[in-house]
Amino acid sequence: MVGATRISNPFYYGDLALDGAFTDRQDELKSLGADLRNGQNVALIAPRRYGKSSLVRRATQHLVAKGLLVAEVDLMKTPTKEKLASALARAIYRDLAKGRVKAKEQVKDHVKMFSGLRIAPVITVNPEDASLSFSFSASHADADIDATLERLFELPAQLAAEQKKRVVLYFDEFQEITDIDPKLPTLMRAVFQEQPEVAHVYAGSKRDMMKRLFSDKNEPFYRSAKVMEIGAIPVELFKAFVKERFDATGRGISDAALDELLAITRGHPYGTQELAYALWEEVPEGFTAMTTDLEAALATVLRAENAHFTLLWEKISRAQRLVLQALASEPGRVQASGYRATYGLPAASSVQRAIEALAGDELVGKRSDGAYEIVEPFLGDWVLGYTT
């Protein structure tokens, strides 16, 4: 029909999943929201693409609506202390200090607020909206940038007190902090432990490193935050979500196709949304998705992921490739002599190093029965289809 409005695909992946695209996590959402309202620090741990950023954003949306102030710094984008200082200054100005003076006085007031830093930032004013950006020169002594960062870390608590509001300071990919400077955790902990009016969220995707930062008694952040791990979404909850989304947009999905889709993704948030998106595109309005449609959708996803997996494949060692090929065929105890013989794997010591590296990159994981399996969505299917 000419002029008919096309129904949009109800599944969403790639960027943050908010509003209707946000899937379940109601228990985690309730717990995180309560913790932050109460000023509790939280270390949020989840592998890549498990939805931790979406969870934090959804929780803080609710908190902002209740009057809390929320600022975010992504440490993946701040490889140096100078860039960290710039990101902190921008987040403090944009999200924490904006309501403390009248709009016409903001630029003057905020310039004054940052003028007390050991290293004065270069402040650029956007002539269109009067927003500010900040940058810090790299030509200075280490002690000066450390003092500047210390003052920036103190500002959220000062602004919270001035505005009589709770503040949430959210660091994404927090495990990167030690790469920026191994001494930074000590400095941050010294400042943050005296900020009861500021709830700190430390989100990270490298499980072992995050656990060490917050659970090792030799680390500055030891027991300084509630550790919260999130995993895959329970299959039954995702099943209801996927079915409802198909039904609401004039399409159906057979029980067999739905069961097989979730058997492939095992409740992985990003992977389930990606495959469901591709499957929905295979089915015309008024029709029901069948297993044959799912096969076509999976082929589409594998083509889309090919560049990503090819780059990954090129970076890993020969032993890691062999282990992935074996696990793609059959999960198992990779060091057992029978398994190694069946799949032509090298010596147990080489396999051990390979599996540790793959597990460290969150590509494989160990099941409760001790067997290893590929946990990265679609990687096993890609390995079987593209490398064997």
- Walk me through the domains of the chain, giving residue ranges and CATH numbers: 25-229 (3.40.50.300), 235-386 (1.10.10)
At residue 232, the pLDDT reads 84
Span 321-365, pLDDT tens digits: 999 999 999 999 999 999 999 999 999 999 999 999 999 888 999
At residue 108, the pLDDT reads 57
3-state secondary structure (DSSP) of residue 70: strand
Distance CA(20)–CA(230), nearest Å, equals: 20
Mean per-residue pLDDT, 271-275: 94
More confident call, 88 vs 132:
88
More confident call, 129 vs 313:
313
At residue 3, the pLDDT reads 47
pLDDT higher than threshold 90 for residue 18 = no
- What pTM did the predictor assign? 0.79
At residue 99, the pLDDT reads 55
Mean per-residue pLDDT, 153-178: 95
What six digits make up the tokens of 44?
């949020």
Residue 103 pLDDT class (50, 70, 90 cuts): very low
**Strand bridging mode 122-125 / 132-135:** antiparallel
User: Is the distance from CB of 85 to CB of 121 less than 8 angstroms?
Assistant: yes
pLDDT higher than threshold 50 for residue 118 = yes
3-state secondary structure (DSSP) of residue 249: coil
pLDDT higher than threshold 80 for residue 114 = no
At residue 110, the pLDDT reads 57
More confident call, 120 vs 155:
155
